[in-house]
Amino acid sequence: MNKIFAFLLLLCSLSAHAESPLKGTWQQKFPDGRTATLLCSENYLMLAEYHFIQKKYFRSAGGTYQLSKIGQKKVISFKKDFNTQDPMTAGTTIATLYTLVNNVLSVQQGPLAGTWQKVVETGTSNLAGNWRLKAKEDANFVMQTQLKGSLKTIKLLTKQYFHEVSFNIDTQQFFTSFGGTYSQKNKKYYEKINFNAMIPKQAGQSFEYDFILNGTDWLHARQSNKGERVNEVWERIE
């Protein structure tokens, strides 16, 4: 009897640590040229809808998620940290049915509703995961701590895609959302913008940064030819 109990505990432990089948990048393509991109880490997701050619941004949403089963039915529970279509729902959780067959994800309702196709991403990345802005250089070139209060700036990266947002989780205020693809080479980090809620004309532009990984910290800096500086420290979060 004790052996059976121990075996069941082992199964539960393995299930709890199994990699999320949603981990990675998913997309929806619409006939009018719009694209919706869904990025998932182990427990966090972000989505954005935009029109790359027209340089238009439509919406973003994000938060933690969990997968479970009710009998043979699969359920995704999504707790919204932000939702630009309905800001007052921030902090609430929606549970809905989903299916996942042959890299096609179908979600029945809520902000994630629709049919998503898995994006094939090659290679590996030591930046993939969730990051929160820890410190940022101000106009006087002084690093200011950002990890405090309800204001959050979060960056989620898969192997090739990224999405960054800033929001206030208590007041439901939303400040910015931008994302696209990224790459790394010779201690350089490159971002190509697919959408930017605050600066739509940035779609298609690329930016180069110096970067250093130091334990759980990611140092991220650049200076443009116009003298604009970005100097940030990001902290890896679960």
Q: What is the pLDDT of residues 113-137, one digit of tens each?
A: 999 999 999 888 999 999 999 998 8
Q: Identify the band that residue 139 occupies on the pLDDT scale cut at 50, 70 and 90.
A: confident
Domain residue extents for the chain:
19-118, 129-237
pLDDT given for residue 71 in this prediction = 92
Question: What number is the average pLDDT over the span 54-66?
Answer: 97
- What is the three-state SS of the chain? CHHHHHHHHHHHHHHHCCCCCCCEEEEEECCCCCEEEEEECCCEEEEEEEECCCCEEEEEEEEEEEEEEECCEEEEEEEEEEECCCHHHCCCEEEEEEEEECCEEEECCCCCCEEEEECCCCCCCCCCEEEEEEEEECCCCCEEECCCCCEEEEEEECCCEEEEEEEECCCCCEEEEEEEEEEEECCEEEEEEEEECCCHHHCCCEEEEEEEEECCEEEEEEECCCCCEEEEEEEEEC
Q: pLDDT averaged over the chain?
A: 89
pLDDT given for residue 8 in this prediction = 31
Which pLDDT tens digit goes with each residue over 14-53? 344 578 999 999 999 999 999 999 999 999 999 999 999 9
**Does residue 88 carry a pLDDT above 80?**
yes
19-118: CATH class: mainly beta
**Does residue 13 carry a pLDDT above 70?**
no
**Does residue 9 carry a pLDDT above 70?**
no
Domains 19-118 and 129-237 share a fold: yes
Which pLDDT tens digit goes with each residue over 161-209? 999 999 998 888 899 999 999 999 888 999 999 999 999 999 999 999 9
**Does residue 103 carry a pLDDT above 70?**
yes
pTM of the predicted protein model: 0.89
Question: Yes or no: is domain 129-237 CATH 2.70.240.10?
Answer: no
pLDDT given for residue 17 in this prediction = 53
Question: What number is the average pLDDT over the span 84-96?
Answer: 93
pLDDT given for residue 6 in this prediction = 36
